[in-house]
Structures are given as structure tokens and as C-alpha cells.
Amino acid sequence: MKKIIFWGRDENDDSLLNEVISGLKTVTCTPKIWYFDNPEEEPTVIGDSVAVFDGRGNHRCTIEITENYEIPYGLVDDRIAQGENCSSIQEFYKDHNFCWEQPMLNEGLSLTEETIIVVEHFKLISIVK
């Protein structure tokens, strides 16, 4: 089974994972340059079951990928923002700029409206007790 880690600000921050488990978060996205370059997480296709882990390596739940596509960062819409549990597109950009901008700069890249991101919609299948 493929796996994904929903990282928070550190390995003990389970806020995103808790949003998945509570059904508030149904979308995740990442810059394409990182999506295919992460040995810990395999690219997904529609129908994949994915084991979700916390930052400490604990399997917490399983999700099923319902959609998977690429878009320019500047074309994020309300459906993506709401699935990311953001109250607005502006909140989505604020949160993701905070998480992505500096790490991309550290790699000599810049986050722009043209940056391609991979968007994965999912549904919760099971919670690990």
C-alpha cells in the first residue's frame, strides 16, 4: 500500500492529520517538483488506497484517492481551498506560501502562479485505532 505523511510544523503536530480523520480535509497538494522526488511517498492514481502516517511514523488512517491532477498554482479554486479546510482561496495561498515558499527558495526555486502543483482529492476509508 502506498503511504503519505501529513506533516505539521514539527513531528508532533497532528493538526492536518486530525482534519483528515474528522473529515474536514479531503484534498492535499504539493508542488510537482517535490511530488515525484519524495522516496517516502509514491505518486498516486485514482482508486489507490493510501496509508496515512503521522510525523512519528504511526499509521493513523487510510484514504482512497478519488481525483489526481496537475494545475498551475495560480489556478487553485474554491473546491480545492475548501477541501484543504481553508475558509477562502486567500487563506489557502497564505498557508501554502508559508509552507512552500522558503523551502523552494532554499532549493534555488521560486513559487509562482505558474508553479505546477499536484492536487489529490480523497475520501477517508478507515481510522486506525
Task: Tell me the pairing of strands 59-72 and 116-127.
Answer: antiparallel
End-to-end CA distance of the chain: 18
Side-chain half-sphere CA neighbours of 40 within 13 A: 10
Note the pLDDT of residue 17. 94
C-alpha span between 129 and 126 (Å, rounded) = 9
pTM: 0.93
Task: Report the phi/psi class of residue 108: left, alpha or beta, with left for phi > 0 and alpha for psi in -120 to 50.
Answer: left
pLDDT of residue 98: 93
- Each residue's pLDDT tens digit, 15-71: 999 999 999 999 999 999 999 887 777 899 999 999 999 989 999 999 999 999 999
- The CATH superfamily holding the domain 2-127 is Sulfate adenylyltransferase (3.10.400.10)
